Chains A and B, each alone.
Chain A
């Protein structure tokens, strides 16, 4: 305000910034995230994420339960790709205890994990476009996700909280006909993905809202510890499956899709391409699955069991003959010396060393196991003091670091961009809050 010759002139319209509390309950925060946002009109001036609304003290729970009791809890850490949680936890314990993992187990784990990556990306695809305002892709994506969840239900009995992996193996072998079901689904999915791409990729509104929005580069990613598709969309071909192969990923052939643009659209494209790559992995894993159909394994096992029984009975007869001090039949003596045939150790679903789940005690030591989850690095830092309970279990979720970059991406952008940018990061709040 200034006074010039008795006339009062208002220099500036009295305007205030508006603080909008986005969340904890909001349709597009995918859980209970609270973003304290300062808006100047529609432009974001400041943003402060407030997390912790979903904190369920998963790490403390790990210290109060035995390793086997804790296993059902870890599904809830990151519920959209729970197989990864289990894998990372079981791997940590197996490495500590020095257990050998049969190839069949590794391949089944690989198949389930990659299917889980597809189902997680499908859910992301649907909700991301729902955030942009398109309702139909959500239903399309869920329709296809449902088929994958059905496969998981067949093997584990649950649709989201699988609890299928065990320390040193699996809960059970895959059911009969499951391989055919998987083949049917993964042969069908590429057609669906092509449909999605047709409806979304070159949609002018989607392009307008995604291209050039939320640009980050590799330095930003390292500054905030961003990993996963967001890092790959900046041109870094960083994929733990490729760089530090775990499970049997070194035996399958796949590419790491990258993009150099680092914006929302690049992240979208990277994720879509990753689904195709996951399908490739599942195809190869199914083709090379040691043992193949479980029915074949059972048949072979029955034959081997029969031989083993024969040998046992021959042994008995020989012992009886020795007791009665008669001459044992030479055929029996010959048979007795035979080794009973054993199933190929790669075909088992439990390691050779049986693990007693209830009293499982890994040796003293510590282990940080890292996998490439659909969102980035998923780690489990486990310290054992030799007791049946862990000294410390730390979950390193990718969403936690990926979320921390959000404010720097949003400041200066429009409020509606928040939904595109936040959606493109694919943050799962239970993984953030644990």
Chain B
């Protein structure tokens, strides 16, 4: 099942993306270590972007943190992106030793779930809570996944494209 899904998602990703993408430094490094990585090229600032499948995320993350050539020790941010068809969890990393940045994208499955990065970078705690709160991505393995910015009894996840504004189910919108 999972293999099928993966191949499907890969194909879908291939359709979306421009055909020729040179692997970056870290993508090549990961590929050498037999990690399944999708290269997404560089963003406008020259930061390398890679897409990692959800099941290999934790191992890739651990490698990126501990390997001497990477040492991405500082987690900058976690952002959820709603691509209408699917949702992405985008992690930005920074290395204090090499001053390099890296961007990892993980696609959420149909249950909106993505493994939590808490065991690798505890700093993601509030960032993942925020992404869950605003985008509805569920981080599996996060010990305390609650809403953080919105009220605890809020309905819906506001940053989604299909979010209904002034939801009539909310108490303060009833008239």
Chains A and B share a contact (CB less than 8 Å): yes
A→B interface (CB under 8 Å): 51-52, 55, 57, 59-60, 63, 92, 95-96, 98, 222-225, 227, 236, 238, 243-244, 365-370, 377, 379, 381, 383, 391-392, 394, 396, 400-401, 404, 433-434
Task: Point out the residue from A222, A244, A370 that lies within 8 Å of B73, measured CB to CB.
Answer: A222
| Contact across chains for A51 and B149 when beta carbons are under 8 A apart | yes
A381-B90, A401-B126 as given contacts; A367 in contact with B79, CB under 8 Å: no
Q: How far is the CA of A187 from the CA of B132 in the complex (A)?
A: 49
Give chain B residues whose Cβ lies under 8 Å from the Cβ of A434: 149
| Contact across chains for B76 and A396 when beta carbons are under 8 A apart | yes
Number of A-B contacts (CB under 8 A): 96
Which of B96, B122, B151 gathers most chain A CB within 10 Å? B96
| Contact across chains for A368 and B43 when beta carbons are under 8 A apart | yes
Q: How far is the CA of A433 from the CA of B150 in the complex (A)?
A: 9
| Contact across chains for A368 and B149 when beta carbons are under 8 A apart | no
| Contact across chains for B123 and A223 when beta carbons are under 8 A apart | yes
Return the CB mask of B118-134 against A: 1 if under 8 Å, else 0: 00011111110010001
| Contact across chains for A55 and B150 when beta carbons are under 8 A apart | yes
Say yes or no: is B148 at the interface (Cβ < 8 Å to chain A): yes
Give chain B residues whose Cβ lies under 8 Å from the Cβ of A225: 74-76, 121, 123-124, 127
Q: How far is the CA of A124 from the CA of B103 in the complex (A)?
A: 33
Say yes or no: is B36 at the interface (Cβ < 8 Å to chain A): no
| Contact across chains for A366 and B123 when beta carbons are under 8 A apart | no
| Contact across chains for A227 and B44 when beta carbons are under 8 A apart | no
Taking A225-B75, A394-B77 as known contacts, 11 extra A-B pairs with beta carbons closer than 8 A to each other, sorted by chain A number, are A222-B73, A222-B121, A368-B103, A379-B76, A379-B92, A381-B79, A396-B77, A396-B79, A396-B92, A401-B127, A404-B125
Task: Point out the residue from B49, B76, B121, B158 that lies within 8 Å of A57, measured CB to CB.
Answer: B158
Q: How far is the CA of A281 from the CA of B134 in the complex (A)?
A: 39
| Contact across chains for A227 and B74 when beta carbons are under 8 A apart | yes
Task: Point out the residue from B103, B122, B150, B159 that lies within 8 Å of A52, measured CB to CB.
Answer: B150
Give chain B residues whose Cβ lies under 8 Å from the Cβ of A367: 43-45
| Contact across chains for B158 and A60 when beta carbons are under 8 A apart | yes
Chain B, residue nearest A218 (CB): B96
Q: How far is the CA of A401 from the CA of B127 in the complex (A)?
A: 8
Task: Point out the residue from A222, A365, A404 that lies within 8 Å of B74, measured CB to CB.
Answer: A222
| Contact across chains for B79 and A366 when beta carbons are under 8 A apart | no
The number of chain B residues with a CB under 8 A from chain A is: 36
A366-B44, A381-B79, A396-B76 as given contacts; A401 in contact with B123, CB under 8 Å: yes
A96-B44, A225-B74 as given contacts; A392 in contact with B122, CB under 8 Å: no
Say yes or no: is B173 at the interface (Cβ < 8 Å to chain A): no
Q: How far is the CA of A377 from the CA of B123 in the complex (A)?
A: 14
| Contact across chains for B122 and A223 when beta carbons are under 8 A apart | yes
Say yes or no: is B101 at the interface (Cβ < 8 Å to chain A): yes
Chain B, residue nearest A236 (CB): B96
| Contact across chains for B76 and A377 when beta carbons are under 8 A apart | yes
Give chain A residues whose Cβ lies under 8 Å from the Cβ of B82: 392
Can you list 11 A-B pairs with a CB-CB distance of less than 8 A? A52-B147, A59-B134, A92-B45, A95-B44, A98-B44, A238-B96, A368-B43, A368-B92, A377-B94, A401-B127, A404-B126
Which of A51, A391, A392 gathers most chain B CB within 10 Å? A392
Say yes or no: is B54 at the interface (Cβ < 8 Å to chain A): no
Q: How far is the CA of A367 from the CA of B44 in the complex (A)?
A: 5
Q: How far is the CA of A1 from the CA of B61 in the complex (A)?
A: 53
CB distance from A100 to the nearest CB of B (A): 14
4 closest A-B pairs by beta carbon, nearest first, are A225-B123, A394-B79, A396-B77, A367-B44
Task: Point out the residue from B75, B76, B81, B101 that lies within 8 Å of A392, measured CB to CB.
Answer: B81
Task: Point out the residue from A52, A95, A238, A394 that lies within 8 Å of B148, measured CB to CB.
Answer: A52
Say yes or no: is B113 at the interface (Cβ < 8 Å to chain A): no
| Contact across chains for B76 and A370 when beta carbons are under 8 A apart | yes
Say yes or no: is B99 at the interface (Cβ < 8 Å to chain A): yes
| Contact across chains for B77 and A52 when beta carbons are under 8 A apart | no
